[in-house]
Chain A
Amino acid sequence: SAVISQKPSRDICQRGTSLTIQCQVDSQVTMMFWYRQQPGQSLTLIATANQGSEATYESGFVIDKFPISRPNLTFSTLTVSNMSPEDSSIYLCSVGIYREQFFGPGTRLTVL
């Protein structure tokens, strides 16, 4: 299994600003994933982050809006840039270990 922590757990931000979310795992993992969970909608994958390479973004998500860093095998950050109220959501990181995918507790973001 894996223990995943995220910081911050929640934040309220102003339109036009940026927020960086951190994800820390207690073991080394190859791939980390960033998902978004909007009210009433399914968890949607934003991007996949491999250590040492550029993140791979899903359709509808772009690097300028959601830059991701993956400096080592236990840590990743997701930045939500130039925020608008539509970015209000829960952002979750996850890691794959063998046949299971474990999720962090999420970061609840509100944009005013």
Chain B
Amino acid sequence: DVKVTQSSRYLVKRTGEKVFLECVQDMDHENMFWYRQDPGLGLRLIYFSYDVKMKEKGDIPEGYSVSREKKERFSLILESASTNQTSMYLCASSLGSGRTTDTQYFGPGTRLTVL
């Protein structure tokens, strides 16, 4: 079974702090994704990566950056956390290799609160 893990289930940070969210997958997937989930809005894509050191902006990249130095690890960085970034953050991965029909597999999520 695919396993996607996220470094924290719950996180509380203060406004202006730099925040790192880590995601690791163990199935040698090429694609990795960061979403945020807010009630009534579904999932919104922040960034995705289709290879090591490769990234593309999603729908809401402002205020976020990402890093993918190793295939299995994809990090989301909030450069200067703000209260409007309080949300549930979900990481996902999929097989890749140019296949657009791949299933995405999700981690348990990190609920971030910015005070």
A interacts with B: no
Which residues of B are in contact with A by a Cβ distance under 8 Å? none
Interface set of A (CB-CB < 8 Å, partner B): none
